[in-house]
Amino acid sequence: MIENVRSLAFDTIQDILNEGAYSNLRINEVLSENELNAMDKALFTEIVYGTVKRKYTLDFYLKPFVKTKIKAWVRQLLWMSIYQYVYLDKVPNHAIINEAVEIAKERGGYHNGNVVNGILRTMMRSDLPDFNEIADPKKRMAIEYSMPKWIIDHWATHYGLEETETILQSFLETTSTTVRANLTRASLDDIIEKLQDEGYDVEKDHDLPYCLHIGGQPIIHSRSFKDGFVSIQDKSSMFVAHIMNVDRHDHVLDACSAPGGKACHIAEVLMPEGQVDASDIHDHKIDLINFNIKKLRLTNIKAFQHDATKPYDKTYDKILVDAPCSGLGV
């Protein structure tokens, strides 16, 4: 039921925003724990990701309509409702209001239900505030693209305002899900056929032969994913094994490997002659690498705990160091 979807979405949003849960992991956990049809899974995922991704924008829309202090969870519930109102064309306004009010009453009594009802109805009868009324261009970008202003200040110093805005626009573009075909298990055509038989739309990438763009229900529920015929991986990450230009007999080290996506990809490229050592400083992450190795049925890769700032006891033909970093690109 849609009602259950919105309640699950709100719980998940709170886990991410208040408890520091990783959005992708928590979403996958909730989808695995609940029997939702394909349409409800898609709605749940869209609401959670959208609300978290656009929280600064949503709060900007909300602010003029809040006349008294509201609790943090009520504010987050309103963000979730505003996201549906602004960005999801197929969700009727009455459904947004009714479900938000029910969630508010269930969790905070009739008073909070009335607050949510009043704010949403007033908003839907009114014009939303305009980004262009914000005089400071960096503050405007922070609100419009829902990004902390300190990051925008940082990028603007390095790239200038125009390039910074281009970067921010790209973050909000809808991208297709990409998977890496495991060509050690089957041919590309056979893997595409497996995915299509499961109801997925599949498109080959123009640059990388093992990269597939797919549409449909979440790939984590597919037999092809569970059986190791495909791995979820961003196209940019797939380029790593490509530009390393490994030779089929190479012995390669991935020094900061967890969760092992790039190491497993390199191992697929090197099968069967080449070898990969996958190390990580955190011992508990080795199990995750080994899980992926086993699922993909790779026999030429070994995972172990090691601090990459310390010497290794062997030499390698090529070494990959994808070190933990801020991810800010500067």
Judge whether 257 is annotated as a binding position: yes
- Taking CA atoms, 59 is separated from 54, 69, 173, in Å, by 9, 14, 20
Judge whether 262 is annotated as a binding position: yes
Reduced to 3 states, what is the DSSP secondary structure of residue 22? coil
Measured between alpha carbons, how far is 201 from 302 in angstroms, rounded to an integer?
34
Judge whether 20 is annotated as a binding position: no
- CB count in 10 Å sphere of residue 77: 28
C-beta of residue 205 within 8 angstroms of C-beta of residue 211: yes
Judge whether 260 is annotated as a binding position: yes
Measured between alpha carbons, how far is 10 from 47 in angstroms, rounded to an integer?
9
Measured between alpha carbons, how far is 318 from 329 in angstroms, rounded to an integer?
24
Diameter of the chain measured on Cα atoms: 69
Judge whether 95 is annotated as a binding position: no
- Beta strands 275-280 and 251-254 are parallel
Judge whether 21 is annotated as a binding position: no
Judge whether 211 is annotated as a binding position: no
Judge whether 222 is annotated as a binding position: no
Residue ranges at the known binding site: 256-262, 280, 307, 322
Residue ranges at the known binding site for S-adenosyl-L-methionine: 256-262, 280, 307, 322
